[in-house]
Structures are given as structure tokens and as C-alpha cells.
Amino acid sequence: MRKIIVGMGTCGLSAGAREVHQTIAELLAQGAAGPQGAELSITSCLGMCYREPLVEVREDGGRIIYGEVKPDRARDIVEKHLKGGQVITEWVVYSEDAAGNVGGSEKDFLALQKRIVLRNCGVINPESLEEYEAAGGYRALRQALFEMTPDGIIAEVKASGLRGRGGAGFPTGQKWSFAAANAGPVKYVVCNADEGDPGAFMDRSVLEGDPHAVLEGMIICGRAIGSSFGYIYCRAEYPLAIKRLNTAIADARRKGYLGKDILGSGHDFDIKIKQGAGAFVCGEETALFASIEGERGMPRLRPPFPAEKGLWQKPTNNNNVETYANIPWILVNGAPAYAAFGTEKSRGTKVFALAGSVNRGGLAEVPMGTTINQLVFGIGGGIKGGRKFKGVQMGGPSGGCIPHHLGETPVDFENIPKTGAIMGSGGMIVMDETTCMVDIARFFLNFTQDESCGKCTFCRIGTLRMLEILERITRGEGALDDVAKLQSLSAQIKEASLCGLGQTAPNPVLTTLRYFMGECLEHINHKKCPAKSCALLVAYRIDPAKCTGCTLCARNCASNAIRGKVKELHVVDDVLCIKCGKCITSCTFGAVYKD
């Protein structure tokens, strides 16, 4: 049976996939697809967020994916393609025939990728256990239960070279062996799905697109370390991910993959979902445990490490969503197949969330060691609006900005930390010449300052002092010794904070000072923002081509600095202007700009 599949991940839904799904359902019910008919199905994110909503037609072993499908396009696809057998080539973003020939306008986006974690995302229906099984799902679990010993599983994971995908890159096999070595009987497997880094959405897509892969990885981990209970700690901001996880858990229980005596092996394992309540620090494992226990999510001192005393003071293994999603593939295909990808010390692949000023924003999974330029220009298709590439921000509030001249840096656990940024969980924000780096540093510090749990003095107060200095600089009130103050505060905060949040909080500032010192000094010495971003350091101008003379800006101006008559060009008087920005926000024609 041919299938017509609508991409219903969060990004697809916010682009209007639900309407498209409904339109197609109505058309199919009316028999508009012709005598052959078609089955309507859903899938999740394929990673091409920039062309959502996506609709795929799958027949005769081939796939044809249409992009930017609104209800009227959906109507055409049903009528012309399904009924008439005519492919509408100009809307095709990606196509693949039975012989493996690929085509479509966005084929480059997928060509450079190697999809292991995302193997099923955008391919199978995430709400169907049967489709996951048909794609080879739960084969690894059978292998782990009946063909391998717990030690054998750990040895295999070790041999694959898999390292924690949450950001720190601790070898997964080793972590498991620590938890396995500690005596039970009660141990826990925890999956960290508290993806709080603003600008990263890999875990969300995996949970929405392939929830069973994460469950399977966790059950295998439970078998390896001798645990019979797991928690998934998921952000409450991801309602769709939680819904699909719940469906997946119920289905897995029904089929005997979860619960008592899994598949008759004698091994028990069950999983419970805990919803986070919105605290960035809960991504730190000891804070996460505190939150599951119902406390304020504050980190604890380590050691004792979680492998010894974790959740409820019991031995616990905690990994990221992406790490668990790798496990089934590794067991089925073997450690050497996984280790064949990537670099010597960073094996396998990594999923990145490309966003910001990049033409093709979305999810991309590439072998470790792919360079930043390959990601930004090869997969991302270059910078939006033909502007100049300035740098990428990696690792979110714990990471830093890597300037464009280091674009040839391979992305792996060895080379990225050398730049001062961190691998992080995979958020990669591309920035162009209109982004002010001082402002970016201020932005991240504002975030960490707000999210600091307040336990450690240096993190609680030090970040606030740093934020005040950065705000001063962006207002044009910076002094030369501010740079030295920022550096010494950074060193102290790194030294005197208990958890990863504080220890890495100064990174965005340090990389800005390291690579963009010129821009910073320009703010301090000349009171100018080269990127024309900081509101108080620019002049406001009105574009004669766009101004209609509606007088709205002049009426909203707090200091009567805008002159002009009705239906005539308006002009800003720099002497009177207090740079409040009201003119920009009030103009309905986008005629006011910063210069």
C-alpha cells in the first residue's frame, strides 16, 4: 500500500502540519487519491526544519518528500501525485528511488550526514511499536538478554568508543562498569532529557521521533548494570515528547519489553517519566536526582559519585537521551562498525541543532571530526541573506563563540575544548556580522545568572557582578579595567563553584574576550557597537524608501526627536534622541533602523 506521511514533530506542527494532516485525511476519505488509494500516516522530524511542513509519498520502495506544504499544496499533491501519478518536481525537497538514486532541491542537506541516532527519525511512525520493530527495533534487546552477559554488553559499549553525548564526553562503557561494580540490590538507570540549553533541540527530536530507541537503550543499560528501574527526567516544556514517551512505554509494557520477566529472560525493568519543572541547573546530574526526589534542584558535592550513591542514595547510571539512542545500533551492528566513524578519540556520530543565521536550520547528524565549515556551509547552506560568517556558538551557556577563522576546526571532544568552547549537547548557533559578541556574552551570562541555584557564593554573586560589568559595556559606560575584572572574576567562579553550571558559566565571556577583544574595546573606548546591535551605541535612522509619513513614530517618541509632516519623510534628531527604541517598535513598516 502506498503511504502519504505528514511530518508531525514540534517544528512541523508549529509550521502548520496539523492542518495539512487534516486536509489530507478529508481528501482521502472522499476518495480523492484515486482507485489505488493511499494510507495516511505520520512521522516526526527529518531534521529539515527550515522546509516544514514536510509531506512524504512512499511507494515502490522509493520516497518523495515535498517541502513547505500548506493545505492548498497538500490538495495538489493528493490530486496530481496520488491520483494522477505525476510528481510535482518543483516542490520536491528530497527524493530517493528503490535503486538508491537521490534527488531534490535539498539533497545536499542529507548527503553529508550519517544517521545513526536519527536512523528512524522522520522515517517511522513514532507512535507505532510495530514500525519500530519492523525497522529492526528491540533486536538489540533480545541480543542483550539472551546472547550476551552483562559484562559482555559493557565490553561492547567500551569497544565502540561511545562517549556521553550530554556534553562532557565521559566514556559510556566505563561509566556503566562503575555502576555495575557497586552492589545492589537496588540500582537506577536515569535518562537525562532535561534539555535546557537554549538553542538545542536534538533530544526533543529523538524523543518525539524515535522514543523506543531510548527505551531500548535504557533497558539494555539496566541489564548491563543490574538495575530494574529507570527514570526519564524530561522537560515539561516538551509536551509532545512526553506524550509519545508515554505511548511508547505503554506499548512496550503490552508487548513484554518492559515489566516483570522481560521476554521470559528473568530480567525485570520498568520506566517512569518525571517531568521537570523548569530549572536549567537540573541538567546537572546531582541536581537532577534532587529534583526527582522532590527537592529544590540543587547540586550535591561529588564524590560520592552517582555510580556509588546517586538517586535515593543508590548506585545510579545517568546518561543523555542521545547516548541511550546509540546503544541499540551499536549492539546490532557491532562495536567496530560504530568505531569506524569519527576520530581516534571521539568515535561515532553527533547530532547538531543548526540554527541562527544559517540558510538550512535544522538537525544534522555527522561523523565526529566533521569541520565547522562543513556543517555551516556544506549542510547549513551558508549564511542567511548572503551576510558574512562571524562565528558559531557551541555548548550554549557553558560553551563559547568560535570565530570564523577557526572554521576548519574538527568538531570532536579533543579539538573543540582547545578553542575555549565545549562540545556541549549539540546546539550550534551560527552568527553573522550583525551579531554583537559582547551582547552574546551578556545574553548567556544573564541566563546563567538567572538559572544559578544560589548554593555557591561565587556562582550566585560572581555571575551577577560579571553581568553588571557586561551591561555597563553594552551601554557604553565600560572602563578599561573592566576587562581585567571580568577575567579575574571568571577565574574565581570557575575555581569555586561546585557544579558544571558555575564552572563553565564564564566560558562565553572568556571566548568573547579571547577572539573578539577588538569589538569589546570598541565598545569601551569609542562607545561604538561595530555590529550595530547595542541599542544605546547606535544612531537611529529612517529609511526614505519605506517611510510613508504616517507620523506614528513621531507621536510615540518620548523626547520629540522625530520631525516630519504627514505623508512626508520623517527624520530623527540625534541631539534630542534618547535611544529608547520606541520608534523601531512602533513603526509598522519597518522603516526605522539602527546605524
Partner 1 sequence: MANETKGADFTYRLWRYNGAQGELIPLLQSAQEHFGYIPRRAIKYISGVTNIPESSVYGVITFYNQFRLQPMGEHVIRLCVGTACHVSGAKLLVDTVIDELGIEVGGTTEDGVFTLFTVACLGCCSLAPVMMVDEETHGRLTPAAARKIIRAMRRRAKEQKPPAKVGSGEI
Binding site for partner 1 (CB under 8 A): 10-11, 13-15, 49-50, 52, 195-201, 204, 236-238, 274-280, 291-297, 312, 353-357, 361-362, 393, 396, 427, 429, 431, 435, 440, 443-444, 447, 453, 581-582, 584-590
Cell 490538495: give the residue: 75
Smallest gap from Cβ 4 to partner 1, in A, equals 24
Least distance CB 581 / partner 1 (angstroms): 6
Reported residue count of the chain is 595
59-66 contacts at long range (C-beta below 8 A, 24 or more positions apart): 59/2, 59/3, 60/98, 61/97, 61/98, 62/95, 62/96, 62/97, 62/98, 63/94, 63/95, 63/96, 64/92, 64/94, 64/95, 64/104, 65/92, 65/93, 65/94, 65/95, 65/104, 66/91, 66/92, 66/93
Place of cell 560504530: 338
CB of 98 to partner 1, least distance (A): 31
Q: Confirm if 428 and 491 have CB atoms less than 8 A apart.
A: no
- The DSSP letter of residue 82 is I
DSSP string, 166-226: TTT--BHHHHHHHHHHS--S--EEEEEE---STT--HHHHHHHH-HHHHHHHHHHHHHHHT
Of 277 and 566, CB closest to partner 1: 277
How far apart, in Å, are the Cα atoms of 363 and each of 44, 45, 138, 529, 563? 12, 8, 25, 32, 47
Q: How far is the CB of 510 from partner 1 (least distance, A)?
A: 17
CB-nearer residue toward partner 1: 10 or 95: 10
Least distance (Å) from partner 1 to the CB of residue 456? Answer: 15
Smallest distance, Å, CB 231 to partner 1?
9
Q: How far is the CB of 279 from partner 1 (least distance, A)?
A: 5
> C-alpha distances in angstroms, 33 versus 16, 67, 81?
22, 19, 8
Cβ(132)–Cβ(257) under 8 Å?
A: no
- In terms of CB distance, is 143 or 359 closer to partner 1? 359
For residue 202, the minimal CB distance to partner 1 (Å) is 10
What φ, ψ does residue 274 adopt, rounded to 5°? Answer: -115, 125
CB of 58 to partner 1, least distance (A): 24
The amino acid at 402: I
Q: How many CA atoms lie within 13 A of 36 on its CB side?
A: 13
Between 148 and 206, whose beta carbon lies closer to partner 1? Answer: 206
Cβ proximity to partner 1, 32 vs 536, nearer residue: 536
**CB-wise, 48 or 368, nearer to partner 1?**
48
Residue 156 or residue 519: which is nearer to partner 1 going by CB?
Answer: 519
Nearer to partner 1, 27 or 431 (CB): 431
Query: Closest distance between partner 1 and the C-beta of residue 182, in Å?
Result: 21
Nearer to partner 1, 279 or 547 (CB): 279
Helices (H), 55-116: 71-76, 107-111
Give the residue with the Cβ less far from partner 1, 216 or 451. 451
51 burial class (0-12, 13-18, 19+ CB within 10 angstroms)? buried
- Cα 335 to Cα 69, 135, 341, 577: the distances in Å are 40, 20, 11, 65
